[in-house]
Chain A
């Protein structure tokens, strides 16, 4: 496979929401790229696919999915993988990613990014599945660290070690979600700074930013609000440590008007530019 690359569109892009299709296509905002949720574009037809064609004609895309269930003990869902492959063929996204988690077992789909036990054996198991996905898609994929609300036992290493091990064994990319390390760090009691300093920078091809919410005594990765202050701070630290990686703002619950999203992207772009200048 080709060497890992960071020469793809730089700067801060936005998650594409159906509410904003028209504004994006008509208004052509000055953004470097959009991220599409892969699962929203796997149907046989319909208006969303037609809109995505139009967006793709104007912008590079990142495809970000939730359905590969890379950490599941179930066999890989070949039919789903076929659908992802044909969407990738059709839209030629600059990146393709899913999550380092499991979402299904025994054919039951939970539609939630569930944590894995962090062991050497599980790392090998997941890496082999990622290799098979990459073979099928004929390209490297990115895996994203998820928000965790509890620790899956038995775990024998911290998450950053597990993530690095899987990425190494699968020779895949990492989509580093800054909000998720803040959420998981707070929930499980680890230091996000440690995570940032341990993640293999050369494999990280994208960053995610989002808003969290507070429920009971946990932080939830809710994607329904602006990025909060502690996450902005971690974003600065991440750019300093990993370099100016292309970044996406995820806001897919209680989706605000497009200007609010543009403003959020602008805030991130300012931080990004500062990091770029600092070199």
Chain B
């Protein structure tokens, strides 16, 4: 009895039915509010009205699947990519991907930097099979557009306009203490992080990373910057 009653009531809420009364408004409003919090730059870029309409469509088609409202919106960037009225803004989905990666990173587990000397302590014979642990929450976001500039502009509209023809970027999202950051990566760094995300061990990195940036130097830098936090 209870299950059926709750199922019907939830259906009514999510489709905005009259029997749900004001609950449709409060429930959908909370979901839209969560998107507004997590995708502030997208909202500032397209304006509150457009964002509200887009988020309104998303919340009707995408129920929350977690008791934590913070988890809501993981597919919003994909939704934006397919959202017809947003097609004039081809960078918007990537901007949303950047914001989502930052959002996730901001509450990822805390980590301590790794002592670079630990790498040298690993015996030569074991080194090739050595794997690296990346900082929790670290993510790569690549785009054909300068989305870091667009993100800055959304936060500070007095900045000069961004030229979309400036080309693409590869961004690394990570956290330094309490602060979530994103930085531009050069192609070899991007390639390194990509391989590390695939859990490729040291030997594989040495084989697959292109010259002139030898793997050991890149890895040492990644340890120094706190991207790599441990060995496995």
Contacts and interface: CB of A to CB of B under 8 A. Distances in A.
A107 B62 CA distance: 12
27 contacts: A39-B69, A43-B108, A44-B110, A46-B108, A67-B67, A73-B2, A80-B67, A102-B6, A103-B67, A104-B67, A105-B9, A105-B10, A106-B7, A108-B64, A109-B65, A110-B13, A110-B23, A111-B30, A111-B31, A111-B34, A112-B23, A114-B23, A117-B2, A117-B5, A150-B23, A215-B22, A220-B22
Contacts of B65: 107-109
A45 B108 CA distance: 5
B110 A109 contact: no
Contacts of B21: 149-150
Interface of B: 1-3, 5-7, 9-10, 13-14, 21-23, 26-27, 30-31, 34, 63-70, 72, 106-111, 136-137, 175, 178
A25 to B, nearest CB: 14
A46 B110 CA distance: 6
B68 A220 contact: no
A218 B26 CA distance: 13
A102 B107 CA distance: 26
A220 B53 CA distance: 24
B109 A44 contact: yes
A111 B23 contact: no
Most interface-central of A39, A110, A125 (chain B CB within 10 A): A110
Given A108-B14, A111-B30, A39 B178 contact: no
A150 B25 CA distance: 14
A152 interface: yes
Most interface-central of A44, A48, A121 (chain B CB within 10 A): A44
B27 A111 contact: yes
Nearest to B8: A105
Nearest to A39: B68
Interface residues of A, number: 41
Interface string A61-75: 000000111001100
Given A73-B7, A108-B65, A220-B26, 8 more contacts: A44-B109, A46-B106, A46-B108, A49-B110, A111-B30, A111-B34, A114-B6, A218-B22
A262 interface: no
Contacts, number: 103
Contacts of A149: 21-23, 26
Given A45-B136, A150-B21, A220-B22, A109 B107 contact: no
A254 B45 CA distance: 23
B22 A109 contact: no
Nearest to B178: A47
A45 B23 CA distance: 33
Given A112-B26, A218-B22, A220-B26, A106 B10 contact: yes
Given A77-B67, A109-B67, A216-B22, A44 B31 contact: no
A50 to B, nearest CB: 7
Interface in A77-105: 77, 80, 102-105
Contacts of A125: 2
Interface string A175-209: 00000000000000000000000000000000000
The 5 nearest A-B residue pairs measured at CB: A43-B107, A67-B67, A73-B3, A47-B178, A45-B110
B178 A50 contact: yes
Contacts of A73: 2-3, 6-7
Contacts of B109: 44-45
A40 B7 CA distance: 27
Given A215-B22, A220-B26, A152 B5 contact: yes
A81 to B, nearest CB: 10
Nearest to A111: B30
Contacts of A108: 10, 14, 63-65
B3 A46 contact: no
A89 B203 CA distance: 42
